[in-house]
Structure 1
Amino acid sequence: MDRKMDKDMRTAFWRAFHASPVIMMRLANIPGHAEPMTAQLDQDAHHAIWFYTRRNNRIASGGAATGEVATLQHEVFASLSGVLVEETDAAVRAQHWSNAVEAWFPEGLGDREVVMLRFDIEDAEVWTAHLGVKGAFRLLTGKPIDQESAGEHAVGSV
């Protein structure tokens, strides 16, 4: 049975995602595979994720979208749904611009082909994995894993 997303699960998600901010994004109603995007995160905004991309990118048109997260240490997995829209607030665009972003877009923030998208998150499912030493041993030796102690699963807003 799915449990409702609580503060601890939200905290675990955002902490792990911040350490490994890559998400596979896909528009919901357009054929094609998801693609990796580097998320621009705001500590105070747990309702949205931002991305820089080019106007000719397959997700640049925006609309209903899904995002899949598997953090670097594989301690958190998430499936997010929401809407991608162009971020037009110049202050937000400037706030997230960095040397790392400029490495991908050398013409700078003023390049008309660079678009910032905001993924407004509407719904999420999050799984945490914490097998521990015993669980890892069981996994390596083919012994049954106790689902109750393997991690948690929650549904709701992040």
Structure 2
Amino acid sequence: MKIHPQRHENLKKIVDLVEGIDIAMLTTQAPDGRLLGRPMAALEVDADGSFWFFTSERSAKVHQLDRVNLAFTDEGDATYVSISGHAAIVNDRSRIDALWTAAAKPWFPQGKDDPDLVLLRVDTDIAEYWDANSSRMIRLLAMAASAVSGRPIGLGEHEIVNNPSRPPVSHQRSLIGD
């Protein structure tokens, strides 16, 4: 995934965390309200914190872009990032040329000239991350100590980040399951 320097300092941490995690789960909402998720290969994060993907303009997801979520996971490093926003279809042939990779050929057999190939841009409104900044062994020991002592442990950073380019989003959290 190609990553550009971020215009907004608070998005830098999000981009740093997802660097090297090339597959995101994109979740959209179907017309009947169901949430639908599918893995997508991230191609680029632009300077405004928008994520770019290839898709087919005939895909059902192109009609489900009002509210979307991207989930990035690196289980080995215990890094989890959730990005909420909205998406748009962009038909920019020069950008498709610039982002084209042979890895996309199985989905687009005609290559970058496939007439159904378009770009999906996900604009970040708000992002949330959990990042355990210690090794797996330290995390296991900390969980064991917590189980014995009965006291909760802090296993890293957790933060909610707004994109200053977008309207502010409430940080209201539920009392359960944070």
- Residues 147, 57 of structure 1: CA spacing in aligned structure 2 closer, same or farther, 3 A cutoff? farther
After superposition, the C-alpha distances for 1:85-142 in whole angstroms (9 at most, x for unaligned) are 0123333222211111224312012212222110011111111113433332243675
| Of 66, 76, 79, the match for 1:63 | 66
Stretches of structure 2 that go unaligned for 5 or more consecutive residues are 1-7, 164-178
Separation in 2, partners of 1:88, 1:143:
57
Higher RCO by CA contacts (8 Å cutoff, separation 6 or greater) = 1
Match of 1:93 in 2: 96
Offset at residue 60 of structure 1 (A)? 2.0
Give the structure-1-normalised TM-score: 0.77
SS of the equivalent of 1:116 reads strand
1:134 aligns with 2:135: no
Separation in 2, partners of 1:74, 1:34:
23
Match of 1:3 in 2: none
Separation in 2, partners of 1:154, 1:16:
12
SS of the equivalent of 1:109 reads helix
- Residues 122, 68 of structure 1: CA spacing in aligned structure 2 closer, same or farther, 3 A cutoff? same
Aligned partners of 1:27 and 1:59 also within 8 Å: yes
- Residues 140, 96 of structure 1: CA spacing in aligned structure 2 closer, same or farther, 3 A cutoff? farther
Q: Which amino acid aligns with 2:128?
A: E
Match of 2:82 in 1: 79
The worse-fitting range, judged by mean Cα deviation, of 82-91 and 139-148 is 139-148
Match of 2:153 in 1: 147
RMSD: 2.7
Aligned partners of 1:16 and 1:75 also within 8 Å: no
After superposition, the C-alpha distances for 1:53-88 in whole angstroms (9 at most, x for unaligned) are 222323122322111121253432111111110123
Q: Which amino acid aligns with 1:25?
A: L
Offset at residue 37 of structure 1 (A)? 0.6
Q: Which amino acid aligns with 2:67?
A: A
- Aligned residue pairs total 150
Offset at residue 41 of structure 1 (A)? 1.5
